Chains A and B, each alone.
Chain A
């Protein structure tokens, strides 16, 4: 089903929207989440939360790209869960208490962090647009989709080693670019 038809189902509050989303993007969402969490149960939880969030935000949102929209949601949810799991592992007491209480307030640090993240995203966009198509695709596949080098190499029919070398070069280039843009790395 086309994205616009799935989005129309959301706007009609038709629950078939979730079914169609799962058919078309379930695999992608699971893959992104799994690449961050490496845990089947956590991954399923994140994907379900993603559908739930999509249901609650469309409408009013009408995403231009459903793939990117869902990918972002599942990525954010997976990162949050990853942090929660690791905080719990690091310190069962204080960190968990703090992280629970932090949900109640929006600290100044959070606002600053959000602004910093937005600034960083803008720089990343500029840098990615300046790359050759293949390099951009490689970087985004690796660090947005979270695909392994071996997976990309298999699909592109190239040696994994070649892609690893290329990624290493791209990371160095990004470091230089960030420094040029005044980001402390």
Chain B
């Protein structure tokens, strides 16, 4: 089989795939200026949809975040994550460029689009810009950390998410 044949076979792929590909808009990860913890919390609450990604202290911190390394992240400093301590990690997160890299890695690994705002106590603060499906995924993974009630989803979206959660649990 030749590449030409494969190219030709692509011609008749499903309409749905062609339309979805043409309409696809990737998540935008926008670097956010470094702000203080309090301001970040205000911004997070103002944004409505939010999540705290828990990160424990000490070695676990670096281990946890190092899980995100090497996915798509090609920033040298980020690849150094396993070696740096918590302070270093916080510093890294507060650097705009590295936040971008970290956000990209989180998206690749978890399928969650996050804007990493900063650091508050033991939590890395993120503003999420997520689809229902991704929200559901995140909800299932860490439901204690996410408040559906306080999210910016519409009533219909919340109901849809709850329905999906129920279905997911009943299948489990």
Interface residues of A, Cβ cutoff 8 Å to B = 63-65, 67-69, 71-72, 75-76, 79, 113, 116-118, 120-121, 124-125, 128-129, 132-134, 136-137, 139-141, 143-145, 156-158, 162, 178, 183-185
Contacts and interface: CB of A to CB of B under 8 A. Distances in A.
A116 B8 CA distance: 11
A157 B26 CA distance: 9
A145 B22 contact: yes
B6 to A, nearest CB: 7
The main secondary structure of chain B at its interface with chain A is helix
B11 A125 contact: no
B79 to A, nearest CB: 15
A116 to B, nearest CB: 8
A157 B28 CA distance: 8
Contacts of B17: 125, 128-129, 136, 140, 144
A120 B13 CA distance: 10
Interface in B1-55: 1, 5-15, 17-22, 24, 26, 28
B13 A125 contact: yes
A145 B17 CA distance: 12
Q: Which 9 A-B pairs have the closest CB atoms?
A: A140-B21, A137-B24, A120-B9, A68-B15, A65-B15, A137-B21, A68-B18, A121-B12, A156-B26
Contact of B10 (A124, A137, A162): A124
A79 B12 CA distance: 13
B72 interface: yes
Contacts of A183: 1
A24 B28 CA distance: 27
Interface residues of B, number: 23
A141 B11 contact: no
Contact of A79 (B1, B8, B24): B8
B12 A158 contact: no
A147 to B, nearest CB: 10
A72 B15 CA distance: 10
A117 B9 contact: yes
Contacts of B19: 65, 67-68
B12 A72 contact: yes
A67 B17 CA distance: 12
Given A133-B20, A157-B28, A143 B14 contact: no
A145 B8 contact: no
A156 B72 CA distance: 16
Nearest to B6: A120
B22 A67 contact: yes
A160 B19 CA distance: 23
A95 B68 CA distance: 55
A121 B26 contact: no
Contacts of A121: 9-13
